Structure 1
């Protein structure tokens, strides 16, 4: 995304404020509908009508949160308490109604719907109307002042009296031009500041309270703990399966071969020699499989050299050309390193199998307390987090550490996968020579 220049930010702020002001019209309609539904609760109809209306309200509030975050830089989290499973029928509708009306976010949003048309006019939208009023002054100075006045319009512009003979008074014309320019300049210069004030107003009512923030945090920790337990169980099953089907089977076969060799040493030395050769080959394969298994659990290069060098080692073994850039002055905690390494490994594997790419770029850096990893390929794009893909598994893996995954993969490519894991760095640990 191209970063705005200061000039662009000042020029766009009034129009953005105007757009936020336009949202107050559907907001007032929804507010009226919600109040009507609340008035019908006593008749029972409101219990059925209110939940769908509150869902519409939440969608509109999500639009506010997204625009405020995009245009002011003030990110507002969704404040809603976790949803429950509801019974079917009237009982479930009643449970949902009670859950929604007991959520503090519902009443804070109703307060927003009531006050925002006034607040937005005097904050975010005000610079737009100042600019518009300034342009109106220029229109008056262009000779339309008398026409507007004769048609019944206001014959004052600020402190300048626009009346018959106005065009014949150069001082009044110049005053109108200067005054209009002043309104335009003030509107443009105050636009970003007014948007920021509006963003803080939005964060005060549309953001989570401490109770809802705590509830959301508990829900997130519960989900990530469950994901971590499931991932650990799946990893243990994989290790057990690999040991049973691989190295264990070879060691059992090798033991049987050694037993046969004991009986053949005196009777058939030649056959015993062949069995010894096969046993030696089986031991080498078993050792190789055990090493691969250990690498799959925790690669030695990751333990010795850190995640940066471990990813570079992955790149060397990858079937596609992979360019790796690492700017990490230190090492995260071992669990974070492991999660980041296996996440990158899975992404590189997916790119080789499904992307049709010719090159891959990996950028790894530590900024603002975050380990940020970006993997880009020049493939055909179209990757998705839906449908139980490997990317969803990666998202769950790093979610255990409060990490997030962002995917940008338009049709035609490129595909950009960004990982962010909060972590602190320790001093680099170098393996002894």
Structure 2
């Protein structure tokens, strides 16, 4: 078995270099030199640990999750400076676990890698030191819940502003105009019946348009077909309204919680609308299914034969969908190479209420 000796020969100098450079760079922080070097050294240490995680996964068949805390969105985009990056590295417990792993790897790990009977013990030892602890997983979950709660509040506020704006600019304006017309009609009904009849016809038209706008507004909050007939029929009706052909394959075992159905419906609606407007596609495929693995997962995939190039960073609609799904621990994934095809996948944990 050559894996163990080969790993021992390669990892020993790398672990020594990673440990020495990290310790020296950290020690030089008070002198100012370490402030410049430490972010780069710790980034390299993290990459080295990630490489070992992938190796353990490949050789043992057991994935080793990355334990690092997610960085703020503004930092991911490169806005935050060098010192802030250093502080985030130092505040992350996973950084110190990586550093503690290197001396163990260069000593006990080196010995167990050289002896074939003990090689599995090297793999288990590495996995135990490089995977996230229970406390890390709990802290990450708390951060995710805080972020999704914040997004939920923002989404609700934005939705409320949209409803208020639509009411003010649409139905409310028409109802006010209709009230003014009725007042004029009351004054003209005896003096000028012909003009009064024209105003009555105009008021009737305004009332019909206001009713249509109110129905559209209610449909935007929660489509009646979704409440009455469930997610499959609502998605089929949505597919029929698209300006390009949509082939649908929807197989669901029953109903789900109303907020989950609503989130999936509006996610699919946004994706289909984007495909019709921006992809240049001639045909779209909608596949919706439910898997009982991992506690139950509701999945929807929208594929088009358009030009590709779509991403979550383009436009606010998809980002809004991602935030809305995040409230339910759902995810939105986009695969869209240049030239197409584009596939957008929605996954939301869900339990079947009735089959």
Q: Compute the TM-score of the two structures, normalised by the length of structure 1.
A: 0.69
Give the CA deviation at 1:23: 6.8
Residue aligning to 1:335:
259
- CA displacement, residues 43-62 of structure 1 (integer Å, 9 cap, x when unaligned): 66445533331122123333
Is residue 104 from structure 1 mapped to residue 28 from structure 2 by the alignment? no
Give the CA deviation at 1:24: 6.7
Give the CA deviation at 1:102: 5.5
CA distance in 2 between counterparts of 1:397 and 1:216 reads 19
CA gap of 1:20–1:399, structure 2 versus 1, over 3 A, is farther
Comparing 64-73 with 30-39, which one deviates more in the overlay? 64-73
CA gap of 1:281–1:326, structure 2 versus 1, over 3 A, is same
Residue aligning to 1:400:
327
- CA displacement, residues 244-276 of structure 1 (integer Å, 9 cap, x when unaligned): 111111111111111111122211111111111
CA gap of 1:344–1:258, structure 2 versus 1, over 3 A, is same
Question: If you compute each CA radius of gyration, which structure gives the higher value, 1 or 2?
Answer: 1
- How many residues get paired? 343
**1:141-180 equivalent positions in 2, closer than 5 A:** none
- CA displacement, residues 151-197 of structure 1 (integer Å, 9 cap, x when unaligned): xxxxxxxxxxxxxxxxxxxxxxxxxxxxxxxxxxxxxxx9xxx89x8
Verify the 8 A CA contact 2:64 2:131 in the aligned structure 1: yes
Equivalent residue for 1:319, pick from 215, 219, 243: 243
Equivalent residue for 2:309, pick from 382, 385, 400: 382
Is residue 223 from structure 1 mapped to residue 147 from structure 2 by the alignment? yes
* 1:425 counterpart SS class: coil
Equivalent residue for 1:269, pick from 173, 184, 193: 193
Equivalent residue for 2:65, pick from 55, 71, 77: 77
CA gap of 1:42–1:354, structure 2 versus 1, over 3 A, is closer
Is residue 113 from structure 1 mapped to residue 102 from structure 2 by the alignment? yes
* 2:333 counterpart SS class: strand
Unaligned runs of 5+ residues in structure 1 are 1-12, 87-91, 128-189, 429-433
CA gap of 1:39–1:277, structure 2 versus 1, over 3 A, is closer
CA distance in 1 between counterparts of 2:268 and 2:97 reads 42
Give the CA deviation at 1:81: 4.1
* 1:267 counterpart SS class: coil
CA gap of 1:108–1:391, structure 2 versus 1, over 3 A, is same
Verify the 8 A CA contact 1:82 1:215 in the aligned structure 2: no
Equivalent residue for 2:179, pick from 220, 235, 255: 255
Q: Compute the TM-score of the two structures, normalised by the length of structure 2.
A: 0.83
* 1:318 counterpart SS class: coil
* 2:303 counterpart SS class: strand
CA distance in 1 between counterparts of 2:90 and 2:212 reads 62
Query: RMSD in angstroms over aligned alpha carbons?
Result: 3.4
* 2:311 counterpart SS class: coil
Equivalent residue for 2:269, pick from 315, 340, 345: 345
